[in-house]
Each structure stands twice: as structure tokens, then as C-alpha cells.
Amino acid sequence: MIKYILKRLWHSGILAIVMSLIVFFGLYVVGDPVEMLSDDEFTEQDKIELAIELGLDKPLYEQYFTYTGGMLQGDFGTSFVYNRPVLDLIMERLPATLEISLLAMVIGLGIGIPLGIFSGIKNNSRASKIISFFTTVGYSTPNFWQAIILIMVFAVFLQWLPASGRGLTNSMFGIEWAWLSLNGLQHMALPAINLAIYKICMQQRLAKSGTQEILYQEYMTFARAKGITRNRIIRRHLLRNILIPIVTITGLEVGGLIAFSTVTETIFSWPGIGKLLLDSIHMIDRPVVVAYLILITLMFVFINFVVDVMYAFLDPRIRHQK
Amino acid sequence: MIDYKKKLAPLSLQTKSIFSGHPIAIAGLIGFVMFVLIALLAPWIAPQNPYDLMVLDIMDGLLPPLSKLGNGTTSWLGTDAVGRDILSAVMYGLRLSLFVAFIATTVGSLIGVFLGLLAAVKGGWVESVIMRAVDLKVSFPGILLALMMLAIFGTGVDKIIYALIIGVWASKARLTRSSALSEMQKEYIDAARISAIPNWRIMLKFLLPNSIAPVLVMIPMSLSGCIGAEATLSFLGVGVPITEPSLGLLIANGNDYLLSGKWWISIFPGVVLVSLVLCINVVADRIREHNNPFLKSMNMQ
């Protein structure tokens, strides 16, 4: 097991380095920071001095090492637009993204899995067909279009929920959270539902096909033959087996949610890291884009590593693979 | 004589067995064909050319559906802020969205199939480089990768096609490799090798036709995925240029007017976008279900 973990760790390390190289050198060609920072009164001499000050005169590989060296010490550079350390900007906005992503995750799992198991067991019932129809429509509808419909229905026509911003925030452990007040929760509702709809649909489909696959396994037939009650079969045999893939997939889904929050946050003006990324792309704020992408990459590499280890932990066949 | 080449069932027969008795899938197919026809014929059937700034009249701006335009014609679905007829804009937008998605899916799948075959045939370091790259891609959400690409290369129709191709190829390469590897265990490949047929010929003539089926099954799904991704990126303003709006950009343009009650600018392109993706997805689901040996055996029980 330890050998397997070390091997995965080695792979993850290489993955992280390759991705940071791609992001750094890829974005190097975007926009000239000197042009961004200088105004009309700058002379050529001033520009050269500014370039030297930013370290842009040095060879590219040296800049990469300076950057990654600083990164390891928590220095991700300074934003051109906000003129503040990038890490502060990201850390400030991270809680906002986390709270809607996690809420969406809870809603998605809580509704999607029961629906999926139900429609898997009662495959040919009318209710199952109706559920499956709605989830097909749900995952065929692009995220941003769902957001527009949600705003139209709940914010404009019914006027039940606010359509933008984060509302009141309260402090807990020195971090500002919106979910601690009713006003904040109301602001969270639409963005979280927007993120959750896709999750519900995907979980329903996953759980449905998983259920159908398990229903026809021999141990299920055997359990029925033993005369075990239906509820007990569902609880002990079906649920346990279906949860293994779902639990492992959930890890990866957190990452997917944070990625998709880019779209949702932009539409609902939710001040999270996704909106920060998109604003920074539009304003060519290179340090923010580079730092965001590298951090997200590291997060994905880490999540993949954890998921791989979890798989190996749950399934001995994987860790003994050559 | 070894029958080394498995013949796929004729396409007409396959189509019949996929769709017969599945009215929703048939409806999806009909809808999809209709959308493709509208997209192809847009320059001839659209009331105006929405890209031609000369025909647009700002006086016709923001008219609701069924209004009379300055030149006497009726605008069935209303106009947007610059006086563009929404019906025409939707037809041209559909054309662009489908074009981008078709090219990206086709090129991405071809690249994926080629790399998958190459990995299976060559093995060694070629295989590990290709499969590492696949791992790299698959471990990342497509939308972020596309945003990263567009941040690097800038925006435009060609750029968004590249970004979508990056999203398509990896899963195809993985699938092709695994099905090609299992094909290579079979006798007809040995027979071909013994007959001193060159590697590239084995790859194209024998492996390709026999290991492509799982990729073909995935293509409709990729197509609808590309349409959705393009719409999302264009909506976010990092996709197609403002002068050639796709469905996603049309929705974004109308989004600013939604709150003031001018719903038709966004709603019509949105309805078309969702219907298009839905049509493709119900067909895709049916094809996948049909080709899933597990589900098939289950239905027989």
C-alpha cells in the first residue's frame, strides 16, 4: 500500500510540475505587463526600468524559477488591477465559492441519489420515466440558461429571492460567511440551486444505472432467494454497493463544482474565485489568472491523488496492479 | 480462410433497430435533422442577413415579436437593440453553433482515434506519453481547460474550435486504445502480421474499422457537449466575436434587456439552444443504450 501511495505521489508531483509549466509559459504570451502598468507619460527608459523591476528582462526559465520559488513561500505575485497580493485576493473570495459549492453538493447528493435508486428499482414505472425525462432535460440545459430562467422566475416574476450579490455576511473563525444569516442564505439560494440542478441530474443517472447493474448481480438474486425483506436488501446489499463509486466520484465532483462556479458566479455576481478568474481574464490581469490556474491545478492533482488512494483502499485489485 | 474482417451491420438496418419502438428518440432525430437543415439553409430562408450592418436599421431596435419593420416586413420574433431580426439571428447563430461543434467533434475525434491506435500499435514510450497526456486532460474539467486556452490564445471562432478540440480528443484516444488492444489479441491481426502486411496498413485497414464502434457511439454526446460548451463560453464573452453571434452570444446580448421585460431577445435563442441539445441527447442516450451489451442482456431477462 505504501509503495502504491509513493508511486501515485510521484505521478502527482510530475503532473503538478507539467501543468505549472504549461500555465506559466502559455500565459506568458498574453498581454505585456509593462504596457498594462505604464501610462502615456512613461518614457522608453521608464518602461525598461519597470521591466527590470518586475524581473521581465530575465530569461524565461529564470522567471519561472523565481515565480515557483516565490509560490512555495506563499508569494503568487501582485495583481495589476487591484495592486494587492494575488493570494490575498483568492483567499478572500474562496469562502464564497466554497459555501455555494458545498451547499450545491449537499442538495445534489441528497436529491439525486434517492431519485436514482428509486428510478433504478422501479425502472418501468410511470414515475421513473417522468423523473428520467426531467433529468434528461436538466442536463441538456446549459448551466447559464438555467441561471437566466431561475432569475426570471424567482427574482423577477415571483420576487421571492434576490438575483445578485452575497447579501449580509457574518464572521466565523475570522472568515466572512453568508450562510450564517437569513439574508445571506436567501442570496445563496439561487446560485446554489443553479449549481445543484446539474448535480441532481447527473447523480440520478449515475445512481440509476448503478442500481440497475447491481439489481441483476447474483448476490442480489441469492439475497432474494434467502427470503430477506425488500427493505433490508435495498439497505444492506444495494445501498452499500452503490455508495462505493458514488463516494469516490464525489471527491472529483467538488473540483468540478468549483470549476463550474465560474459560470454561476458570473451570472449571479457572486463574489467568489470563479468570478475573479473571469474578470481577470477580461482585464488581462495576468498574475491573478496564472495564480488561479496553478492553484486549481494543484487542487485537482491533490484530489486525484486522494481519489486514487481511496480506490486502492476500497479495491485491493488496483493496488496490486503492476 | 480466416474471416479477418468483421462486417458491421448495414447502416439502414442498424438505424432501424436503434429507433423502432422509441418515439422520443425518433422525435429527437427528426428535430435534430430539422435544426441542421435550418442551419444549412439559413442564408436562403432567413428574412435578413444579420451580419450585414447595412440592412440593420436602429429605428427597428427592440421591437416585440410580430412587429412591422421600417421596410414593411414583419419581424416574427422581434428585434434586438441594433434592429437585428431575432428569427434571422437565431438561424445564423444556429448555423455558427452547429458549425463550430461539428468541426470540433470531428477533428477532435479523428485526433483521438489516431492517437489511440498509435498508442495501441506502437506501445513503449509513445504509448506512455499519449496516455499520460490523456490522464492530464481527463483529470481536468473541460470548461476550465477551455477558459485557460482562450485566456492564452484570445477569442475568435477558430480559437474556440481549438479549445473544444482539446476537450474532445482525450476520451476518444482512451476508448480507441483499449478496444484496439483487445482487437490485437485476435487471430486476424496475427494472420495479417504473418502475411507481412505493414504496420500502418494493419492499423488503418484492420484495427480502425474494428475498434471504432465505441467511439462512434460517443460522438452524439460529444457534439451536444461541444454545443453547450461553445454557448457557455460565448455567453461569458470569451467565445465567438460580437459581430458573428452564436446562440450563446445572442442570449448574452439579450440578457441585459431581460429585466426590463424585453424577453424575446434571449428567450428565443435559448429555447432553440436547449431544444437542439435535448434532441441530440435523447438520440445519444438511445444509441448508447442500444450498444450497451449489459443493458441489452438485462432487457432480455
pLDDT at B2: 45
Whether residue B285 and residue A136 make contact (CB cut-off 8 A), yes or no, is yes
Tell me the shortest Cα–Cα distance from B159 to chain A, in angstroms: 14
Nearest to B169 by CA among B122, B225, B123, B209: B225
A205 contact partners, CB below 8 Å, separation of at least 6? A116, A135, A139
Dihedral sign for Cα atoms in the order B28, B32, B37, B38: positive
Q: Are B140 and B82 in contact (CB under 8 A)?
A: no
B258: nearest CB among A19, A152, A266: A152
Query: Could you tell me which residues come within 8 angstroms of residue B246 by beta carbon, excluding any fewer than 6 positions away?
Result: B93, B96, B97, B100, B230, B231, B234, B239, B240
Residues of A in contact with B274 (CB under 8 A): 137, 140-142, 145
Query: Do A144 and B144 make contact, defined as CB atoms within 8 angstroms?
Result: no
pLDDT given for residue B10 in this prediction:
53
Distance from CA of A73 to the nearest CA of B (A): 25
* A140 assigned to some structural domain: yes
CA distances (Å), origin A49, targets A9, A38, A40, A79, B140: 42, 11, 15, 19, 39
Sign of torsion over alpha carbons B80, B83, B86, B89: negative
Total count of domains within chain A:
1
Q: What's the sign of the alpha-carbon dihedral B115, B119, B125, B130? A: positive
Does a structural domain hold residue A20? no
Q: Does any CB of chain A come closer than 8 Å to the CB of residue B226?
A: no
Element (H, E) at A175: strand A175-177
Q: Is A213 on the interface with B (CB under 8 A)?
A: yes
Tens-digit pLDDT profile for residues A106-136: 898 889 888 988 888 887 788 888 888 888 8
pLDDT in tens, B175-221: 899 888 888 888 888 888 888 888 888 888 888 888 888 888 889 99
- Cell numbers at B193, concatenated: 502480421
A283 lies within 8 A of chain B by CB = no
Per-residue model confidence as pLDDT tens for chain A (322 residues): 788 788 888 878 887 888 788 777 777 665 566 666 666 677 777 777 777 777 677 777 777 887 788 877 878 888 878 888 888 888 888 888 888 888 998 898 889 888 988 888 887 788 888 888 888 898 889 888 999 899 888 888 888 888 777 776 767 776 777 777 778 778 888 899 999 998 899 888 888 888 887 877 788 888 888 888 888 888 777 877 777 677 667 766 777 788 778 889 988 888 888 889 888 888 877 788 888 888 888 888 888 788 777 777 766 666 666 4
Instruction: Kindly state whether B51 is in contact with chain A, defined as any CB-CB distance less than 8 angstroms.
Output: no
Is B255 in contact with A148 (Cβ distance < 8 A)? yes
Q: What is the mean pLDDT of residues B56-84?
A: 73
Nearest to B274 among A141, A260, A289 (CB): A141
B298: pLDDT confidence band, cut at 50, 70 and 90?
Answer: very low
In-domain check, residue A237: yes
* 3-class secondary structure, A85: strand
User: Is the CB of A212 inside 8 Å of chain B's CB atoms?
Assistant: yes
Give the mean pLDDT of B94-104.
94
| ipTM greater than 0.85 | no
Is residue A224 one of the residues assigned to a domain? yes
CATH number of the domain that A313 lies in? Answer: 1.10.3720.10
Residue type, B158: D
d(CA B110, CA A180): 51
Inter-chain touch B148–A26, beta carbons under 8 Å: yes
Angle between helices B264-291 and B86-122 (to 10 degrees): 30
- Which among A210, A157, A199, A165 has a CA at the least distance from the CA of A184? A165
> Which residue in B has a C-alpha nearest to residue A249's C-alpha?
B139
Does any domain span residue A65? no
DSSP A246-260: HHHHHHHHHHHHHHH
Total length of chain A: 322
> Does any domain span residue A181?
yes
The pLDDT of residue B300 is 39
Pairing mode of beta strands B67-68, B74-75: antiparallel
Domain with A210 in it = 94-277+302-319
B53-69 pLDDT, tens digit per residue, is: 777 777 676 677 767 77
pLDDT value at residue A320: 67
Query: Which residue in chain B is spatially nearest to A252 when comparing CA positions?
Result: B139
The answer to whether the Cβ–Cβ distance between B147 and A300 falls below 8 Å is: no
Ramachandran angles phi, psi of A231, nearest 5°: -60, -40
**Which of the pair, B6 or A289, is modelled with greater confidence?**
A289
Across the interface, whether the CB atoms of A278 and B236 are under 8 A apart is answered yes
A56 and A63 in contact (C-beta within 8 Å)? yes
- Whether A164 is in a domain gets the answer yes
Joined grid coordinates for residue A275: 468570478
How many whole angstroms separate alpha carbon B117 and alpha carbon B207? 8
| All domains of chain B in start order, with CATH | 21-54+72-300 (1.10.3720.10)
A120 domain-assigned:
yes
* pLDDT over 60 (residue B6): no
